[in-house]
Amino acid sequence: MGKFTYDINRYEPKQMVALPAGLFIISVLFLAFNFFTTGMPIEPGIDFAGGISVTVFSDDSKEDIESYFSGYPLQSVGESINNGYYIVFQNMGDDEFRDLTDHVISKYPEAKIDQIGETFGKTLQEQALWAVIISFILMAIVIFAAFRNFVPSVAVVISALSDIIITAAIMDVVGITLSLGTTAALLMLIGYSVDSDVLLTTRLLKRKGKLEEKMSGAFRTGIIMTSTTFTAVFAMFIVSAIGNVVIIRDISAVLLIGLAVDVMNTWMLNAGLLKWYMTRGGRK
C-alpha cells in the first residue's frame, strides 16, 4: 500500500489558492444575497424561525398524515423509528393554534405538541450568532498568541473562516436548515478546521528540513486524522439516517460537508499561503 504524498512543487501558490478562494467569494455572495432577500443567510429551521412541532406515533402512512393536516400550514413531515412522525407547522394565530391542537388530540390523544414563538426564535438566532462570532474571535486570539507571526496566523484564520462560509453555503443549497443542532456542528467545525491548519503550520514553521519533506509529512499525518474523523462521522450519519433521527443526521451531514471542505482549504488555501510566505514573503 503506497504512502500519502503531497507534491508541493507541482503548483505555484496562486494556483493552489485559486479554487478555494473562488469558492469562498461565490459562497460569500450567495449568503449575502440570501441575507438581503430573506433576512437570514441560511434558511432557518423551527428553532430560529418559530413554529409548531407535533410528535405522534401511528401506523398511518406519511400520505395519511399530510392529508389529515392539509387544512393547516404544514411545513414538513419527518418519519422516525417505531412508527413515529415529527410534524412541523408554520406559525399561526392563537385561534388557529387551538383549532390545530383539538384536531391533533382528536385523532392522536398521546401526541406531543410544542410551540416556538417567532420572538423567541429571533432571540435564539441572536444568541447562536454571538456564539459563533465569539468562538471565532477566541480561536483567532489563541492562534495569534501561539504563532506570534502575522502571515501564518492570518492563513489559519482565513482557512477556518472559509470552512464555515463554504459549508454554510452548501448547507443552504442541499436544504439543511439552520437549527440549534446545525449551529453546534458549525461550532465543532471551527475546532476541526483549526486542528489540521495548526498541524500544517507547526510542521512548516517549527521543524527543520526541506519544505517539500515537511509538507509531505504534515499531509500524511493530517489526511489520516481527517479520514479517521470522517469515517466516524459518516457511520453516525448512516445510523441516524436509517433511524431517521433528524437532529443527529443534520449534525453529521454538516460535519461531513465541513470536513471535506477543510481538506481543500487546508491543503490548497492554507498550504498555498504558507508556501508563498516560506519561499517569498518570509524565510527561505
We report the CATH number of the domain holding residue 208 as 1.20.1640.10
Choose the weakest-confidence range: 114-123, 125-134, 193-202, 244-253: 114-123
Distance of CA 227 to the CA centre of its chain: 17
Nearest to 269 by CA among 168, 196, 183: 196
What's the DSSP call for residue 72?
A: S
In a domain, 2, yes or no: no
Domain boundary among 97, 116, 135: 116
In a domain, 4, yes or no: no
Let me know: does 150 contact 81? Beta carbons within 8 Å. no
Domain boundary among 95, 116, 137: 116
46-100 pLDDT, tens digit each: 778 778 888 888 888 888 888 888 888 888 887 766 677 888 888 888 888 888 8
192-224 pLDDT, tens digit each: 888 888 888 888 887 777 877 888 888 888 888
Choose the weakest-confidence range: 160-169, 227-236, 270-279: 270-279
- Biggest CA–CA distance in the chain, Å, is 76
Nearest to 153 by CA among 259, 258, 273: 273
Three-class SS state of 76: strand
Whether the pTM exceeds 0.75: the reply is yes
Owning domain of residue 265: 13-45+119-282
Alpha-carbon dihedral sign for residues 32, 38, 43, 45: positive
* Co-location of 190 and 74 in the same domain: no
Q: Higher model confidence: residue 53 or residue 7? A: 53
* Co-location of 159 and 265 in the same domain: yes
Mean pLDDT of the chain: 84
pLDDT confidence band for 8 (50 / 70 / 90)? low
* Co-location of 205 and 111 in the same domain: no
* Co-location of 212 and 234 in the same domain: yes
pLDDT confidence band for 9 (50 / 70 / 90)? low
pLDDT confidence band for 1 (50 / 70 / 90)? very low
* Co-location of 171 and 81 in the same domain: no
